[in-house]
Amino acid sequence: MNDKFISLICGVIFGIGLVISGMTNPEKVIGFLSITYNWDASLIFVMGGAVITAGPFFYLLKNKEASALGNQINLPKKQKIDNKTIIGASLFGVGWGLVGLCPGPAISALATLDPVAFVFLISMAAGVLAKKNIVK
């Protein structure tokens, strides 16, 4: 068991969860964001199921200093909401609404071999690199 192997396994489990939940299909995500017409609340159950499962473990593990593999635990410090978070989350929401893909499903969607998934992922990489170069 090393860091690389665990990362691969966790990615596989996460991807299985995404596909079973239906979230790899942008149509389903747009259905959730379509609050005024034919609303599909499924996404709340996905996020709720994940939060309820992970939450208690985060609570139990919160004072640990090292992980099971011996890595130091560096959790984000408690921070006040700032302008970067507000603007970033707003822009992310607009992009999410334009297509129906967020980063996890965007990567899992490569499994479909649909060219759209590759175009979206390259554009997403460009956005990540632009942010890194523009905002320090």
Interaction residues for other proteins, span 37-96 (CB under 8 A): 37-55, 57-58, 61-62, 64, 66-69, 71-76, 78-81, 84-96
As measured in angstroms, the least distance from the Cβ of 39 to other proteins is 6
* Per-residue x/- track, 5-34, other proteins (CB under 8 A): xxxxxxxxxxxxxxxxxxxxxxxx-xx-xx
CA 28/CA 99 separation, integer angstroms: 11
As measured in angstroms, the least distance from the Cβ of 1 to other proteins is 8
Distances (CA, A) of 23 to 26, 53, 76, 120, 135: 7, 18, 27, 16, 30
Distances (CA, A) of 33 to 27, 40, 93: 10, 8, 10
As measured in angstroms, the least distance from the Cβ of 15 to other proteins is 2
User: Closest by alpha carbon to 127, among 115, 98, 113?
Assistant: 98
Residues in the interface with other proteins (CB under 8 A) total: 117
Contacts (CB under 8 A) with other proteins, residues 94-123: 94-104, 106-112, 114, 116-117, 119-123
